[in-house]
Amino acid sequence: MRGDARLLVVSLAAMLLALPGAASAGAEDTPTFTKDVAPIFQQKCQACHRPGYIAPMSLVTYAESRPWARSIRTRVETRQMPPWHIDKSVGIQDFENDRSLTDEEIDTIVRWVDAGAPRGNPEDMPPPVEFADDDVWNYAHLFGGPPDLVVYSTPYTVPAVAQDRWWKPEVPTGLTEDRWIRAIEIRPSSVDGRRVTHHALARLQQEEDDDLGAASDVGPGLLMEWAVGKQGEIMRPNSGKLIKAGASILWDVHYHAVGEEITDTVELGLYFYPQGEEPKHRQVLSAFSTIEGGSDHLSIPPNQVTVTERFHVLKQNGRVENYQPHMHLRGRGMQMTAILPDGTTEVLSRVSDFNFNWHLNYVYSDHAAPLLPKGTVLHLKSWYDNTSANRANPDPNQWVGYGDRTVDEMGHAWVNVTYLDDDDFSAAVAEREALATTNDN
């Protein structure tokens, strides 16, 4: 009887599959490359994974993607790719530049691979994405042309074989009048230059006046850093960075050898507000250290995890625009917490799986950028894994201190703050509260 029952079940299944449309139901649920996966790759992957660009393989066509299917599955399921290291369990999660995959997108890719990575109907393939030429400035189309001012670092030749170099020339801007910056781009000048440039800082050098208000306590700050994963920066409406007549740029470019001699420069593109148009709010990019007592106090013993922290008081009201942790090979995580004047505490952002290969700038969305009253304490905490469990660790048996070399360590967060007077801060808080009430309803 048990054998007859099994035969009956098999026969019924065969009859159901024979019904019109039944055989294709499972196939319709199976993701295909052309219909389901290619759109995800276009939106989240192809900026790097395309012919001739920085990723090791292209994911533009099915033929290029199919051999890497199982590797892709592993990388996206473990959230190694696309690189996005914000801890999703705590803090703000709304970012303008969020490149991470959603749970649904990860599930689609995983099911596609598990089904044998089918191609699908070629007619379902979306049109190819047209990426801007590397010689074209990213924001040129937004502002009606190339940057208003381009400042070049002094050329530097990286030998074929050499230890890392830090090139720090100071270059005058040539400005004869004060101008307000509304957007910034920075990049190596050539494709070969991208191979030898680990990162590049452009620090603004200028005298500050006493009448600059909120920003006078923090100075001109950094204009921008270039590193893999960063494109540019556009100021929020009615805010900008002030660059004064006679200012100069102090470059800090980290070069590394790649087996052939390469000469290159780094170029800084600045888009100005029209002459006579001044934004109301000044924005300053500063490095908020995580090392109490200063860099010289960083000491990481061998074969253990070390935690450092530092507290910074905001002397003026401010809107925090972004968060970018910076550490080296032993760096494992960094957290930024706001301690408000009333004593309440809010974790703003945490990176729990820092990766030195990616210097990611997390730009908060308009409705999520923290509004912090003067007197707020920003608490920055870093942790370093100097054990053999850290696969990036070159030698867990070494003491590690602060330094520019990759095998040394650092601990700071690049944070852009737009400073607001009391009236503007109150108005911004009221607008945020009204928006929250509307969304709740």
Show the CA angle centred on residue 209, arms to residues 204 and 211, nearest 5°.
125
CA quadruple 327, 332, 336, 337: dihedral, nearest 10: -150
Q: Is the CB of residue 270 less than 8 Å from the CB of residue 243?
A: yes
Count Cα neighbours of 130 within 13 Å in the Cβ-side half-sphere: 1
* C-alpha span between 194 and 186 (Å, rounded): 12
**Strand, helix or coil for residue 268:** strand
* C-alpha span between 387 and 332 (Å, rounded): 11
Global pTM reads 0.80
Question: H-type helices in 127-208, by residue range?
Answer: 191-196
Of 1-10, 179-188, 220-229, the range with the highest mean pLDDT is 179-188
Each residue of 235-281: pLDDT tens digit? 888 899 999 999 999 999 999 998 999 999 999 999 999 998 999 99
Does the structure show a pLDDT above 80 at 231?
A: no
Does the structure show a pLDDT above 90 at 320?
A: yes
Query: 10 phi and psi, to 5 degrees?
Result: -65, -40
Q: What is the mean pLDDT of residues 364-392?
A: 96
Tell how far CA 257 is from the center of its chain: 24
* C-alpha span between 103 and 88 (Å, rounded): 12
CATH number assigned to the domain with residue range 149-429, chosen from the 4 options 2.30.30.140, 1.20.58.2240, 2.60.120.230, 3.40.640.10: 2.60.120.230
Q: Is the CB of residue 282 less than 8 Å from the CB of residue 235?
A: no
pLDDT bucket at 116, cuts 50 / 70 / 90: very high
- What are the structural domain ranges in the chain? 1-25, 31-81+88-131, 149-429
Q: How many residues does the chain have?
A: 441
Strands 239-243 and 281-289: parallel
DSSP letters spanning 374-398: TTPEEEEEEEEE-STT-TT-S-TTS
Show the CA angle centred on residue 323, arms to residues 232 and 234, nearest 5°.
25
* C-alpha span between 370 and 376 (Å, rounded): 11
Tell how far CA 284 is from the center of its chain: 18
Token pair listed for 373 = 């009253």
Does the structure show a pLDDT above 50 at 429?
A: yes
Low-confidence winner among 16-25, 47-56, 184-193, 388-397 (lowest mean pLDDT): 16-25
Q: Which residues contact 362 (CB under 8 A, 6 or more apart)?
A: 86, 95, 97, 322, 323, 324, 349
E strand or H helix at 249: strand 248-255
Each residue of 138-175: pLDDT tens digit? 888 889 899 999 999 999 999 999 988 999 999 999 99
Q: What is the pLDDT of residue 438?
A: 74
* C-alpha span between 178 and 173 (Å, rounded): 11
* C-alpha span between 388 and 398 (Å, rounded): 11
- Whole-angstrom CA distances from 382 to 87, 240, 305, 430 are 14, 30, 10, 33
